[in-house]
């Protein structure tokens, strides 16, 4: 069963943004909440949502491109189920017009199971090639410069700068996850990670002290997320129920996922399964 609601995350004031030139007035902002009791319905509706955003970006123009940024972790399987393995959705995806970027990446070689690109390739891109017993042309996928991995501080900063230089002016869609601690992209909560959430000038940063392995990553900053035309979170599983309560009910502004709601507001949709949303009242 599916249930759609607009959740008011209304706060008044301005986001704390000491290094920012952008001050965002926070009026009463609504985010959209989509809840599902069945996994199949969740991934199907998630796929449909992505398809809608593709169609409005491409507008039947064969020369247009769909700029999308994806997250790692549980996102890959949902993308496979919702886009590649869904017989209603798959034929409508115009893969060659997709330009795919990563919201964050772990600074490990692509064959390392921790690599977000490596997992996306294995779970989504490789099966896509022969899906439906035919040869499918794939999307253009923008990865970090793997040859710089292991080069230390200077190389890690260069990976972030190079990746930032590849990004489009704005994304048609950014797909986010939310960790048990409220992190999104590789923007982590806590004072020692303030350098990540407070950055609004640069688009991509080296995250050098990730509390979740591996320690070295790159991440989009909130500046990139703020400029996106649409943002969707996908969150599943009972391990997420406490953090979903903190994000959507308590609205703890120390959490990077809450900052996304505050900055992006009405363009944000949350897709939750019932276990992740177990502490969110049904009438929300």
Q: Which residues bind ligand LXAUTJHC (CB under 6 A)?
A: 71-75, 103-104, 116, 177, 179, 186, 212
> How far, in Å, are 23, 142, 151 from residue 156 at the CA level?
29, 17, 7
Q: In the complex with ligand LXAUTJHC, which residue's Cβ is closer, 26 or 173? A: 173
Nearest to ligand LXAUTJHC of 95, 117 (CB atom):
117
DSSP state of 14: B
Q: Which residue, 58 or 279, is less far from ligand LXAUTJHC as judged by CB?
A: 279
The neighbour count for residue 266, using CB atoms within 10 Å, is 10
Closest separation in Å from C-beta 76 to ligand LXAUTJHC: 9
The helix/strand/coil state of 269 is strand
Q: Which residue's Cβ lies closest to ligand LXAUTJHC? A: 73
Q: How far is the CB of 194 from ligand LXAUTJHC (least distance, A)?
A: 19
CB of 192 to ligand LXAUTJHC, least distance (A): 17
Query: Rounded to the nearest whole angstrom, what is the least distance from the CB of residue 78 to ligand LXAUTJHC in the complex?
Result: 9
Put the strands of the sheet holding 98-102 in their side by side order.
2-8, 30-36, 268-273, 231-235, 173-176, 66-70, 98-102, 140-141
SS3 of 262, please? helix
Q: Are 198 and 183 in contact (CB under 8 A)?
A: no
Residue 251 CB, nearest distance to ligand LXAUTJHC (Å)? 20
CB of 213 to ligand LXAUTJHC, least distance (A): 9
The smaller minimum CB distance to ligand LXAUTJHC, of residues 118 and 177, is found at 177
Contact 166, 159 (CB under 8 A): no
β-pairing verdict for 104-106 and 217-220? antiparallel
User: DSSP H helical segments within 59-89, as ranges?
Assistant: 75-79
Minimum CB separation from ligand LXAUTJHC for residue 9, in Å? 20
Count the alpha carbons within 13 Å of 169 in the hemisphere toward its beta carbon. 1
Return phi, psi of residue 105, to 5°: -145, 145
Q: In angstroms, how far is CA 21 from the centroid of its own chain? A: 24
The smaller minimum CB distance to ligand LXAUTJHC, of residues 75 and 100, is found at 75
Specify the residue, 97 or 119, whose C-beta has the smaller distance to ligand LXAUTJHC: 119
Instruction: Give least dist CB 145 to ligand LXAUTJHC, A.
Output: 18
- In 3-state terms, what secondary structure has residue 6? strand
Of 116 and 143, the one with the shorter C-beta distance to ligand LXAUTJHC is 116
CB closer to ligand LXAUTJHC, 20 vs 275: 275
Return d(Cα 129, Cα 123) in angstroms, integer. Answer: 11
């Amino acid at each position: 069963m599916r249930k759609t609601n607009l959740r008011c995350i209304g706060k008044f004031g301005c986001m704390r943004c000491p290094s920012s030139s952008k001050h965002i007035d926070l009026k009463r902002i609504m985010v959209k909440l989509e809840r599902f009791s069945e996994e199949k319905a969740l991934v199907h509706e998630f796929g449909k949502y992505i398809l809608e955003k593709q169609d409005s970006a491409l507008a039947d123009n064969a020369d247009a491109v769909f700029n999308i940024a994806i997250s790692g972790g549980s996102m890959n399987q949902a993308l496979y189920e919702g886009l590649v393995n869904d017989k209603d959705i798959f034929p409508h995806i115009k893969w060659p017009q997709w330009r795919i970027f990563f919201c964050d990446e772990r600074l490990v070689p692509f064959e390392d199971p921790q690599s977000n690109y490596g997992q996306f390739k294995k779970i989504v891109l490789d099966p896509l090639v022969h899906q439906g017993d035919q040869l499918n042309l794939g999307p253009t996928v923008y990865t970090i410069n793997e040859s710089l991995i292991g080069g230390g501080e200077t190389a890690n900063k260069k990976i972030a700068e190079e990746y930032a230089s590849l990004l489009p002016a704005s994304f048609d869609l950014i797909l986010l996850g939310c960790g048990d601690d409220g992190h999104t992209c590789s923007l982590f909560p806590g004072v020692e990670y303030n350098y990540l959430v407070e950055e609004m000038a640069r688009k991509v940063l080296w995250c050098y002290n990730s509390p979740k392995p591996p320690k070295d990553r790159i991440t989009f900053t909130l500046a990139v997320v703020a400029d996106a035309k649409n943002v969707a979170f996908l969150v599943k599983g009972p391990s997420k129920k406490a953090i979903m309560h903190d994000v959507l009910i308590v609205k703890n502004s120390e959490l990077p996922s809450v900052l996304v709601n505050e900055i992006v507001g009405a363009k944000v949709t949350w897709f939750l399964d019932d276990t992740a949303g177990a502490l969110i009242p049904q009438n929300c």
